[in-house]
Amino acid sequence: MTHVPATHSTLSRLMRQVEDQVREHVLQTYKSYLERLLEALRDAVVGRDRYARGGPEDVSYYRYGYRKWKTVQVPWGTLTEVRVPRIRTSCGKEVRLVTYEHRLKALTEELLLGYVGGMSARTWAILLRELGIGEAHPQTLLRLIKRLREEKEQWRRRSLRGVKALVLDGVWAKRRGRGQKKLVVLSAVGVKEDGSHELLDWVVAEQEDQASYERLLTRLYERGLHEVELVVADEAEGIRQAVETVYPEAKKQVCLWHLQGTLEQKLLQDMGERKGKNADLQKERRAFRAEYWKLFEAGGKEDAARALEAFVKKWAAKAPRMTASLLWRKDRLFSYLELPYEWKEKVRTSNLAENMFRHMRSFLRRYPGYMSRAHADEVVGLYVVGMQVIQEVGRRTPTGSSSISTLPLDSPAIVVPLTLISAVW
């Protein structure tokens, strides 16, 4: 019987050797692919093949050789001596082809998350070093935070024009300390004539009252938004009163999603009185939901009025509270149909505001809570700026992969992973 010769190799050592070999191969492939992308980007900007003569008269850029980036940090390690094309104008002035970003910018969301949650800049510097990302002096991190604060304030002071509809809603979150009341972030999302929408501003308050919403709407008014055609919100009394004060001429649209919940409660009350008659509550509830949303398939206000009349006629006998509640709101049910825009269906619920903060709850879930209203305002502001940065550089996933961002060039086929073109600290 033969024996395998003794060896000092272990499985972990073999796996490390494989990992080193694979990493080296990946880095070489990564570097080659990155250099090809950079050259394709240069060719798209210049607009002519190499050594080509003539061309359009408005040619603005020319090839100008190459430079080298000494190091570029990527998820698998460090690329060295990356060959980067150069371009210049007809006057001989060199133009930067690709923005040379700090790698820390790709971690902006995590930085903001830790900072506003109480993590010090020194702790962040230690953490970055331990993760192998690179050196970052605490003052560098603080300068980045200061710059983001300035960006946030400039963004909140920008002039507002062309907003046709406002969608209002509030996002609640807890406050630190036992027995502390929650705070609410009141947000305003604007919809423009082309159907695009964006967050306009927010206010942190202790409740959704008239004074808080007036403060939010007044800030919009002072920034140039003197009139809007439609305001969409739930049925909080404070919202209604604030809108009547600041935008009295605007049409009012009740959020149909919130209204569905209110009407269902009335329906359950009506059906509860018929339990002795073997009422099938779940069946009636499903039927109500289906017919409720059919009301809003009408293409115009006349069709909507006829559909509402038929709905009330069918449900009035078995659900009088629900139908009475619906009729009480009929002036705010179909206001969105009066808009002459193709996107008018967007503004029959407050989903635009809900979706604007769809990551907010998970973002804040990792905090012990707001410390104060000022702290809450800071958190929301840095969150908004952080989300804008993520749109620019891509969201980093837990596996270390990164999103791909497209650069708006004449050739839509050119795609450059901007998060990979990053300088090492």
Three-class DSSP category at 40: helix
Residue type, 295: L
102: exposed, middle or buried (C-beta count within 10 Å: 0-12, 13-18, 19+)?
middle
Q: Are 132 and 409 in contact (CB under 8 A)?
A: no
Per-10-residue mean pLDDT, the chain, length 425: 60 79 80 84 81 61 84 74 86 74 47 53 58 56 71 84 92 78 89 90 90 94 94 90 93 93 89 61 87 89 91 90 92 92 91 76 64 79 66 43 30 26 23
Domain 158-255+349-358 architecture: 2-Layer Sandwich (3.30)
Q: Output the pLDDT for position 64.
A: 84
Annotate 175-239 with three-state secondary structure: ECCCCCCCEEEEEEEEEECCCCEEEEEEEEECCCCHHHHHHHHHHHHHCCCCCCCEEEECCCHHH
Question: What does the pLDDT read at residue 161?
Answer: 87
For the range 27-31, what are the long-range contacts, defined as Cβ-Cβ under 8 Å and sequence gap of 24 or more? 27/74, 27/76, 27/77, 27/78, 27/79, 30/74, 30/76, 30/79, 30/420, 31/79, 31/82
**Vertex 102 angle, CA 97 and 108, to 5°:** 125
Give pLDDT, residue 417. 27
User: Considering just the CA atoms, what is the radius of gyration of the chain in Å?
Assistant: 29
The ranges of the chain annotated as CATH 3.30.420.10 are 158-255+349-358
Q: Count of alpha carbons within 13 Å of 285, Cβ hemisphere only?
A: 13
Measure Cα distances from 386 to 108, 191, 358 in Å.
Answer: 6, 22, 14
Q: Encode pLDDT of 14-68 as tens digits.
A: 877 887 787 788 788 878 888 888 888 888 888 877 766 655 555 678 888 888 8
